[in-house]
Amino acid sequence: MTSKLTKHTKTKKTPKGFSYTPTQKLPKLKKLPTEWDMKGQYYTSINDKQIEADVVKAEKAYATIVKKFKGTDFTQNPKTLLAVFTAFEKLSNDPAIGKPTRYLSLLTALDSNNEAANKKLNLIGQRLTKAGNALVFFNLELAKTSKENQKKLLASPLLKDYQYDLTCTFENAKYDLTEAEEKILRLTGDCSYGMWVEMTEKILGRKTVTHKGATVPVNEAIDLVNALPFAKKPKLWNDIMQEISTLDEVVENELTAICTKKKITDELRGYATPYTASVIDHEDNEASVEALIASVSSRGFTLSKQFYALKAKLHGAKKITYAQRNAQLGTAPTIDFVQATEICRDVFYGVNNTYGEIFDRLLVNGQIDVYPKKGKRGGAFCWGQTAQPTNVFLNQVDTLRSLETYAHEMGHAIHTERSKTQPSHYQGYSTTTAETASTLFEGLLFDAVFAQSAEKDKVTLLHDKLAGDISTIQRQISFHNFELEMHTIVREQGAITRAELNALMQKHLKAYCGPAIEITELDGHSYIYVGHFRYGFYVYTYAFGQLMSCIMAENFTADNAYASQIDTFLTSGGKDTVANIFSSININTTNAATFDHGLNKMEQEIKLLQKLTTKRL
């Protein structure tokens, strides 16, 4: 769609009492697309002959590297090793490499029922996995080089730009398997993991519930729960839980398979805990992550219980349901996509003109898909990689939460685009820094909305912010604790039943919600739709990022010159460890007190909410 306003947005009106005046002089937009321009960014259709041509080109490119370097002593000196790195750089910078699978994956995100795209993705994915597996030799051979040669390579000026990559390869060499074993794990990964996850997503994408006489996809209905009045939330939520509970037997087997595969892989590689691999992949420090988990699971959970106890009182109840935990205290404004775009643009331009310009380019080029539809996956994401477009995926329902999600995902997008200032081997970045970037812009957006809101609305906004922060920090750490215990049970018992999964979900929801939230067996079914549990211990990064972004936002608010530090962070890509990237902007993530800083702020905000609502109690 390329009209100025879509039919959807024309029918929405901003309620009286809420308005937003941009603080920046925003360039005018001639169009506001709300769907991905797949033809312009990728291929004309699934039958485009260029897809096969690009796959063949990728296969040949992989084969060329193998033929030229495999079996040679490319680690003998910096010059021969640089030649291999240069070949990989050329491969990464070719837009055709990875484009076919990216295109087909996006099609399946838009419509999980697109069987043609699913089938083609599987076939092409298998071919490219096989071709890519031929490159496994490189890191394995590099990791085998002697300690003496490692020192020589690390000290060479020729390899200065690859020093961090080399350090990681040498440090993690102890987890490598043989080339044959690595290939087997990669080749069987899709059928032992990927197809399980794809199956669940497809089935969930087809599930519907009846709401107000209409048939609504479950993924959309989950988002709609937040938009309903307090008293009506439980009914829709329970309908959703009843519907997805029909998948419990399937998901029981899916999650057991996922946990078992991980157990086997971890044992082969020698990882100490179920989350060790994820911490390494995210370039974090295990002790730092464990300090975060301990801090949030103790003091953090105490704060979330305090908040929910206060919330129940404000609603005039001893207990409220899990579906009502994020219910607003007042009436929040309806913010359609047009106004949401204006607010977001104002915030991004307000930090750095470059961010605003990137935001506008992605908008106008049709790189944002906005509205929910049947078959479309739930949630939101940003997907970007070297030499490929950055795509943002939303399920906009014209709520304040949708606005915050918009800012969150565009924060990821800005991070992705700014990371492209790095050479291709450092354009990727840790999930931890990714979640910091996204929550930073989400937090700055809240500040902008809060500053222009009427006094009568500020209680509602502060309450909603706290509810959102708890969902990002305490809820995600409860998910981490659930995931860890799930994996532990499978490792000890050999499998986990749907009854155990349900009871486990209830246990960990109660841990952070406390007695003011009534957790039922129906709520326990929520493990079925939470996709995080299928992607291996990355949920802690949300909490980590939220706490770090609070510090960055505070620094920027105190002195706008801190914008240069923000850009240092966003342009760092993956050129160093998480700890060192934060250290470069004067944040010490190895100190437990740093995590407490974010929790201190939450404690102060809960006290402020108590003060502002004294007359209501």
CA distance 497 to 166: 43
- Mean pLDDT, residues 421-450: 95
Q: Does the structure show a pLDDT above 80 at 132?
A: yes
The pLDDT value recorded for residue 417 is 98
The pLDDT value recorded for residue 615 is 75
- Please give the mean pLDDT across all residues of the chain: 93
Q: Does the structure show a pLDDT above 60 at 331?
A: yes
- C-alpha pair distances (Å), 110 with each of 38, 372, 375, 424, 528: 11, 9, 7, 28, 21
> What residues have CB less than 8 Å from 26, skipping those under 6 apart?
342, 345, 346, 349, 356
Q: Does the structure show a pLDDT above 60 at 510?
A: yes
pLDDT tens-place string over residues 520-552: 999 999 999 998 899 889 899 999 999 999 999
* E-strand stretches of 129-211: 208-211
One-character DSSP codes across 13-37: -PPTT-----SS-PPPPS----S--
Eight-class DSSP state of 370: -
CA distance 193 to 381: 21
Q: Does the structure show a pLDDT above 80 at 332?
A: no
Q: How confident is the model at residue 17 (pLDDT cuts 50, 70, 90)?
A: very low
Q: Torsion over CA of 588, 593, 599 and 603, rounded to 10 degrees?
A: -140
Whether the CB-CB separation of 323 and 330 falls below 8 Å is answered with no
Single-letter amino acid, residue 307: F
The pLDDT value recorded for residue 601 is 86
Whether the CB-CB separation of 250 and 199 falls below 8 Å is answered with yes
Q: How confident is the model at residue 18 (pLDDT cuts 50, 70, 90)?
A: low
Which domains are assigned to the chain?
38-176 (1.20.140.70)
The pLDDT value recorded for residue 334 is 82
Whether the CB-CB separation of 525 and 240 falls below 8 Å is answered with no
**Helix (H) or strand (E) run with residue 393 in it:** strand 391-393
**In the block, residue with structure tokens 């697109």:** 114
The pLDDT value recorded for residue 220 is 87
Please count the other Cβ atoms lying within 10 Å of the Cβ belonging to residue 147.
8
CA distance 21 to 342: 9
The pLDDT value recorded for residue 474 is 98
The pLDDT value recorded for residue 617 is 65
**Helix segments in 473-614, DSSP class H:** 474-493, 498-513, 521-524, 540-558, 563-570, 578-583, 592-612
- Mean pLDDT, residues 546-559: 94
**Helix (H) or strand (E) run with residue 294 in it:** helix 286-295
- Mean pLDDT, residues 165-193: 89
- Mean pLDDT, residues 428-436: 95
The pLDDT value recorded for residue 527 is 96
pLDDT tens-place string over residues 238-275: 999 999 999 999 999 999 999 999 999 999 999 999 99
Q: Helix 248-269 vs helix 195-206: angle between axes, to the nearest 10 degrees?
A: 160
CA distance 584 to 567: 11
The pLDDT value recorded for residue 12 is 38
CA distance 167 to 533: 30
| Residue 414 burial (10 A CB sphere; 0-12, 13-18, 19+) | buried
Say whether pTM exceeds 0.95.
Answer: no
pLDDT tens-place string over residues 334-386: 889 999 999 999 999 999 999 999 999 999 999 999 999 989 988 899 999 99
The pLDDT value recorded for residue 8 is 36
Q: Does the structure show a pLDDT above 80 at 190?
A: no
For the chain, count helices (H), then strands (E). Answer: 29, 7
Q: How confident is the model at residue 406 (pLDDT cuts 50, 70, 90)?
A: very high
Q: How confident is the model at residue 193 (pLDDT cuts 50, 70, 90)?
A: confident
Please count the other Cβ atoms lying within 10 Å of the Cβ belonging to residue 407.
24
The pLDDT value recorded for residue 457 is 82
The pLDDT value recorded for residue 1 is 32
